Structure 1
Amino acid sequence: MARILIIILLFFGNGLISSQSVKNGIQVLEGDLLNSGHLLRTDKQVLRIHGGVLQEELAYLAGKKIRMLCDVQGETCNPIRYEMEPFESGKTPDWTLKKIPRYVTGGLFSFNPQCTPDGKILFWTALVREGGRSTQKIWAAKRDQYGFWMQGEQLPTPLNNKFPSAVISALPGGNELFVFGNFGEEELLDNLKREMMYKSQVASREAQNPKEFHLVLTKLETEYKERTEKIQNRAPLYKTRKTETGWSMPTPINFPSFYNWYKKADNPNQQVFGGSALASSGRTLLYSAQQKKNFGKLDLYVSLQNDSGVFEEGINLGNTLNTVEEEMAPFLAPDDKTLYFSSSGRKEGISIFITRRLNDSWTSWSEPQELSANLRGVNFFSIPAVGNWAYVSREGELYMAAIPHHFQPEPVVVIKGKVVDEEGKPLSAYVQYESLNRKKSIGSTISDPTTGEFSIILPYEENYGFYGEKEGYLPVSQNLNLVGKEKEDKEKTVLLVLPKLKKGNQIVMNNLFFAFRSAELTKESEPELDRLAGILRKSANLKILIEGHTDNLGTKSANQKLSLERANSVANYLKSKHKIEETRIAVVGFGPTVPIADNQTEEGRGTNRRVVFKISEE
C-alpha cells in the first residue's frame, strides 16, 4: 500500500499535495525521505528530489528523517547539503550518535575530528592512497550560515606533505592550528648525515695513524647517534597560522624537555605517541607519553608555557587518572577544567572518560567517569566551546554525539571579534588577552588576514582585558569582568578599530580603572599603562597628550579637577615607573565638556568617564 501511495504521489502529486506549497529558492526543509531517496515529504508538501551528486547517498537514507538545504523550484528540490536526525541534542537520548554525511568526508576512512571552539570549522584526519600506499592527510570543512557542514577538502601544502599529518587542536577562530607531523625533520637528518660525512673525510686526511682515525670515527658515530635521537625524539608538534594565501610553514613548538620512551611491541624502532591537546589559550599542553615518572605504559602529562614561549618540563597528572595501561588522546575543554581522555586500563577495551580539576593545580582531579558504554571503541573526542554536541570517530566514520548536561564543560564566554583599520579594512593583528587582577597574560590569537575575524574563549571568574595590536598602529583594548557573574554560555561580538601610529590619532584607554570619584589608579590598570609605555619607548620621537574626561554628575568645577588629576595620574605612572621624559607628555582635563555618549543613562555616563591617549607629535 505504501508503494502504491508513493507512485500516486509521483504521478498525481499536484492533486494530493497540501496547498501550502514550499516557496521557491533556497530553503531549509525538514521531512522524511521516501521512494529510495527520490521524494522528500515535509509537513507542507511532497517534493521530488533531483539528487545530482547526492542522489546515491540519499538513496541509502530512504525512510529516515533529514534536514536539508534545498534549491526549491516548483515541486522539485535540488539538494545542496543535509543532516540526519536528531537535529537538537536536548531532544534525544544521551550520547546518541549522529553520523556526519559522507559528502563531507568524501567517503574516505576518517578519524580524529577536531572542531574549532566556536564550532565553525571541523578538521579531521583522512586515510588516502598516495604513491601506492596509504597515508594520513588533514581535511577540513566549514559550517554554513544554516548550520550544515559543507563539502570537505584536503588542505594543501605545507600542512600536508609526504608524511602523515593531523590536526591536534584548532585554536579559537580556526586561524591557528596545532598539528602533528614531520615538517623539516627529514632535511635536518639529511644535513646531519652530510655534516658527519664531511667530518669523517676530514678525519681520514688529518689522522696521523689508523688508531687515531678509529678514535675520531668512534666519537663521530656517538655524536651522530645522539644528535639523530635528539631530532627524532623532539615533540612532533607544530603550530601554523592562516595567511592570505593559505597556511604558514608549521614551526615546532619550543618544548626542549620532551621525550617519549614508548615503542611499538612489534617494531621497537617505531615510537608510539599517545596524542596531545592544546588549551584554547595556546599556553597549556596536555600530552600522552612514556617518561620516567610514568605509572603505566602511556601516561597523561601537562606542560605549561612560560613567558619566554618555552613549554616547561611535563608534570604527570597523577595516578587518579593514570593506570598501568594506556591513557591517551586528551582533550581539555575550553573551561580549562574539564578533561576528556581515552583509557584502556579501566574497562574492557578503550573507552572515553571525564574528569575535572579540583583546584588550580594539575595533579588534583575528580575520579574519572566513563562517558557511555555507547562510546566504547571511540578514541578521539572534541567539543566546541558552546553547544551540546561532541565530535567523535569510530571505524572510519565521523559522528556527533549528544552530550548530557552533567558531562558538559562549565560555561564560557566566546568573544567573536573583528580587527579593522580606520577605513574598515580588515587587519591581521595579534589579539592578546590577560587577567587584569592577576596581571598575567593568559593567551593570544591572530585575526584572519582576509576578514580580520578572530575568536577567544574566556572562562568565568576572571576580570579580563583583551587588545589588538599590530606594527604601525595604536593598540586598542576592551574589558570584560566575569568575576561573580551568573555562569551561562554566551557569545559577545566586538570590533577593534586600530588607528595608525601618526599625529592626531588617539585611543580610549578602556582598561584603565580608578577608585570611585578618585584619581587613584587601581592595580588592574597597570597592564594597559605598561603596554602604552612600550610604544613610547619604541618610538623615541613620539609625544603624547593625555586627556581626562568625566560624566556630568556633580559640579563642573569638581569634574574639571577630577579629570585633570586622572590625566596626571597616568602621566606620573609613565614617568615614574617607565622613565618617560616629562617633555614628551602633556596633560589636559576636559571635565564633562566633551561627552561622546548620552549622560542620561548609566551606560552613557560610563562611556564618558574616560582617559584618552593622543599622539601630539611623531
Structure 2
Amino acid sequence: MARILIILIFLLGGGLISSQNTQNGIQVLAGELINTGHMLKMEKQILRLSPSPLQEELAYITGKKVRMLCDVSGDSCTPIRYELDPFETAKVADWTLKKIPRYVTGGHFSFNPQCTPDGKMLFWTALIREGGRSTQKIWAAKRDQYGFWMQGEQLATPLNNRLPSAVISALPGGNELFVFGNFGEEEMLDLLKKEMQFKSQEASREAQNPKDFHFRLGRLETEYRERTEKIQNRAPLYKSYKTETGWSNPNPIHFPSFYNWYRKPENPNQQVFGGSALSSTGRTIVYSAQQKRNYGKLDLYVTFLSDTGTFEEGINLGSTLNTGEEEMAPFLAPDDKTLYFSSSGRKEGISIFVSRRLNENWNQWSEPQELSPNLRGVNFFSIPAVGNWAYVSRDGELYMAAIPPSFQPEPVVVIKGKVVDEEGKPLQASVTYESLIKKKGLGSTVSDPLTGEFSIILPFDENYGFYGEKEGYLPVSRNLNLVGKEKEGLEKTVLLVLPKLKKGNEIVLNNLFFAFRSVDITKESEPELDRLAGLLKKNPRLKVVIEGHTDNVGGDQANKKLSIERAVSVANYLKSKHQLEETRITTKGLGQGVPVADNKTEDGRAQNRRVVFKILED
C-alpha cells in the first residue's frame, strides 16, 4: 500500500511540477478529468482544478476527455467552460451524439434546440417550475471566441411571459426570432368579453319584449363564439427583433387562413400544433397541422409570404411526406430544399427523416430517409449553415449529432457583415437581398443595434444583389454571382458604410452593370437604379450629380467619353422611367483621372470602373 501511495504521489507530483509548460492566463487545454474532476491530466502534465461553479458538474463526468477553457495560474487552473469529447473539430462516426454541458442549460429539462445559421447562438425551450406549475420558457446561449458555449440564460419579457413560449426559428445573425407562444390573446379575449357584456346590457335595454331580447342575445352569443374561435385559432406564430434594450414585443405574423383541428383524445379541449419552420429568407413557412386536406393526424404544409405581407393559404406537401400518423417538428435547411422532420408513421416510435425538394412548386419530394436509428426518440432537429453538427434533444438533454455528408443540405454562402456610418459607429439597418436576374426581393434581415452585425444565407445558382438601407442615409449595395459556381460552403465578410443623406456625401453604384466598353445598362442594374429613383422621390429637395469613372485601359479621351456617356445613361434612365425633373440630376465624366485603386491589378481596375451618386443639395 505504501509503495502504491509513493508511486501515486510521484506521478501527481511530477505532473504538477511539469505544469510550468503551460503559460499563465486564459488557455484552451485538452485532457482527461481525473480525481473526481479535481485534476486535468494532459499528455505531458497534470493541472489541479481550482474550486469553481463547475466543480460538481466536473465531478460527475470524471474519467471523460474534455476540451476546457481555463484561467491558468502556476500549477492550477480555474475552469471557465468546457466541451465533452468528441470535439467538434475531430472526425467521428456518423450520427455520434455529443452532449451539450449542463452548465449551458442550467440543468433544466431542455428541448427544441434552434441554432442560428452562423452557429453563434443557440436557443432552446426549458421546462421551468413557476408558481407551483411547470411552463415552457425560451433560453439562449452564445458561443465565445474560443468556440465554447457560454452559460445559458432565460430570456426576459416580452419573449417570456406566464404562458409557454418557444423559438421556432432563429434567422441569420440572431437578430430576428420566429417564436411560438401566446402574446396578447388573453388581453384580446378580455376586451371581447367586456364588449359582449356591454352589448348584452344594451340589448336588454333596447329589446321590445322577452322574445326580442332572447333573439338579440342569441345573435350576440354566436358573434362571441365566432370571434373567440378566431382569436384562439389564429397562427400562434410571432416575430421579434433585437433592439437596443432587448427584444421587441412579438408581433403576430399575418396568416389569416391558418387553422388547426388536431386534438388529442385525452385532452379534446387543447389544440395540438405540430410545430413550424421559417426559411432563412423569412418568406416561407413549413408547418404541421390538421386541416381539411390532411392524409393523417398531423400533416406538413407550406405557405409563402405574398407581396402584401400576408402568408397565403397553406399547401399540403403531399403523400410522399405525410403518412396516416403524425409528421411534426419540421426544419427547413438554409438551402431551402432539404427538409428534416419527425414522424411517428414510418418506424416504431418517433424518428427523424430527411427529404429533398425536387422542383420549384414544392409538390415533388424525394422519398424520406431515416437519418439514423441512433436518433430514434429524438423529435427536434436543427442544422446551422456552417459546420458538420446538428442540434437535437432527447430525454430533456441537448445534444450535437455528427452529420454524414450524404445527409447534409446543399452548401450555401454565409455573408457576415456589419453596417456602420461614416464614423464607423454601428447602425441598425435593414439588409435586403434580391435576385438581379429575376428582379425580385428574396429576403431581408436587420443588423444588430449595438454592433451593426448581420448575416444572410445565399444558396447557389443565383445572381444576388444585397444592400443596407436606413432612414436618413444613402443605401449601399454589393453583389455576388453564384450562377454556375462550384458548390462549397463559404463565408464572406462585408462592411456596409452608409453615408448620411446630406450635401457632399456619395455612394458607388456597386450593382450597376454595363456591357464591356459600352454605355448600355444591363437588366441586372434596374433594381439598383429603381431604388435610387425611390430615394429621390421620397426626398424631393435632393439634387445629385452622376459621375462616371473608368480604369486606365484605352486612351484618356476615349475613357473620358465613355465615362460621361455612362453617367448620361444612368441619368436618362432615372429621368425617363421615373419622370424625375431634369434640374435635379446632372452628369459628369472624369475618365481615368480619379482612381481609387491600383490600375496594375484586375481587382484595382474593376474598382476604378465605377459610377458615383453624389448629393449636391439636400
TM-score (norm 1): 0.98
Distance verdict in 2 for CA 1:321–1:6, change over 3 Å: farther
Q: Percent identity?
A: 78
Distance in 1, Cα, partners of 2:330 & 2:447: 27
Change (3 A) 1:26 1:390: same
Correspondence list, 1:567-578, <5 A: 567-578=567-578
- Name the structure 2 match of 1:586: 586
Paired letter, 1:64: K
Cα offsets for 1:246-288 (capped at 9, x unmatched): 0000000011111111112112111000000101111111100
CA distance in 2, matches of 1:240, 1:399: 26
- 2:612 aligns to what? 612
Deviation, 1:18, is 4.1
Cα distance in 1 between the residues matched to 2:560 and 2:7? 81
Q: Secondary structure at the residue paired with 1:419?
A: strand
Distance 1:560 1:9 in 2: 82
Return the offset for 1:559.
Answer: 1.0
What is the RMSD computed on CA atoms of the aligned residues? 1.4
1:91 shift after superposition: 1.4
Residue 71 of structure 1 corresponds to 71
* Alignment partner, residue 321 of structure 2: 321
Give the secondary structure class of the aligned counterpart of 2:246.
coil
Distance in structure 1 (CA, Å) of the matches to 2:5 and 2:134: 47
CA distance 1:9–1:51, change in 2 (3 Å): farther
Match of residue 12 from structure 1? 13
- What is the identity, as a one-letter code, of the residue corresponding to 1:137? K
Q: Secondary structure at the match of 1:162?
A: coil
Distance across 1 between alignment mates of 2:354 and 2:6: 50
* Conserved 8 A contact 2:549-2:592: yes
- Cα distance in 1, alignment partners of residues 497 and 232 from structure 2: 45
Specify the alignment match of 2:150 in structure 1.
150
Asked whether the 8 Å contact 1:89–1:389 carries over to 2, the reply is no
Distance in 1 separating the partners of 2:19 and 2:305: 64
Paired letter, 2:490: K
8 Å Cα contact 2:548-2:612 kept in structure 1 = yes
**Whole-Å separation in 1 of the counterparts to 2:7 and 2:419:** 54
CA distance in 2, matches of 1:154, 1:40: 31
State the 1:291 CA deviation: 0.7
- Structure 1: which 4+ aligned runs deviate by more than 3 Å? 1-7, 16-20
- The amino acid of 1:421's aligned partner reads D
SS in 2 for 1:110: strand
* Change in CA separation of 1:446 and 1:196 when aligned onto 2, cut-off 3 Å: same
User: CA separation in 2, counterparts of 1:12 and 1:408?
Assistant: 48
Q: Counterparts of 1:552 and 1:4 in 2: how far apart (Å)?
A: 81
1:295-337 deviation line (CA, Å, top 9, x unaligned): 1110001101012211111111111000111101000000111
Q: CA deviation at 1:44?
A: 2.7
Q: Does 1:351 align with 2:365?
A: no
Find the aligned partners of 1:258 and 1:613 in 2 and give their Cα distance. 45
Deviation at 1:558, TM superposition (A): 1.2
Q: Is the 8 A contact 2:94 2:404 kept in 1?
A: yes
* C-alpha distance after superposition, 1:566-590 (max 9, x if no partner): 1111111111111111111101111
- One-letter code of the match for 2:433? Y
1:420/1:498 contact within 8 Å kept:
yes
Q: Which residue of 1 aligns with 2:472?
A: 472
Secondary structure at the counterpart of residue 43 of structure 2: coil
Residue type of the alignment partner of 2:465: G
Aligned length: 617
Which residue of structure 2 aligns with residue 300 of structure 1? 300
Q: CA deviation at 1:7?
A: 4.0
Cα distance 1:55–1:527, how it changes in 2: closer, same or farther (>3 A)?
A: same
Q: Which amino acid is 2:170 matched to?
A: A
Q: Distance in 2 between matches of 1:291 and 1:140?
A: 33
Cα-to-partner distance string for 1:180-217 (whole Å, 9 max, x where unaligned): 00000000000000000100000000111111111110
1:529 aligns with 2:525: no
1:501 has 2:501 as partner = yes
For 1:244-393, what aligned pairs fall within 5 Å after superposition?
A: 244-393=244-393
Tell me, yes or no, if structure 1 residue 224 matches structure 2 residue 224.
yes
1:94 matches 2:94: yes
Change (3 A) 1:226 1:10: farther
Distance 1:342 1:17, change over 3 A: same
Q: Secondary structure at 2:27's aligned position in 1?
A: strand
For 1:472 and 1:541, locate their aligned partners in 2 and report how far apart those are by CA, in whole Å: 13
When residues 86 and 4 of structure 1 are mapped into structure 2, their CA distance, relative to the original with a 3 A threshold, is farther
Unaligned runs of 5+ in 1: none
Tell me the CA shift for residue 63 of structure 1: 1.1
Partner residue in 2 for 1:122: 122
- Matched residues in 2 for 1:254 and 1:229: separation? 17
Tell me how far apart the structure 2 counterparts of residues 22 and 410 of structure 1 sit (CA, whole Å): 42
Deviation of residue 485 (structure 1)? Answer: 1.0
Cα distance in 2, alignment partners of residues 278 and 5 from structure 1: 62
Task: After TM superposition, list the pairs within 5 Å mapping 1:78-227 onto structure 2.
Answer: 78-88=78-88, 91-227=91-227
Q: Which residue of 1 aligns with 2:240?
A: 240
Distance (Å, rounded) in 2 between the aligned partners of 1:134 and 1:88: 34
What amino acid maps onto 2:554 in structure 1? G
Deviation string, structure 1 residues 57-109 (Cα, Å, up to 9, x no partner): 00111111100000011110110000000013651111010000000000000
Which structure 2 residues correspond to residues 17-28 of structure 1 after superposition, within 5 A? 18=18, 21-28=21-28
Distance in 2 separating the partners of 1:345 and 1:298:
10
Q: What secondary structure is seen at the aligned counterpart in 1 of 2:192?
A: helix
For residues 33 and 17 of structure 1, what CA distance do their matches in structure 2 show? 18
Output the CA distance in 2 between the equivalents of 1:321 and 1:271.
23
Is the 1:89–1:388 contact (alpha carbons within 8 Å) kept by the matching residues of 2? no
Mind listing any 5+ residue stretches in structure 2 that lack a counterpart? none
Cα distance per residue 1:454-479 (max 9 Å; x no partner): 00011111111110000000000011
The TM-score with structure 2 as length reference comes to 0.98
Q: In 2 relative to 1, CA 280–417 (structure 1 residues): closer, same or farther, beyond 3 Å?
A: same
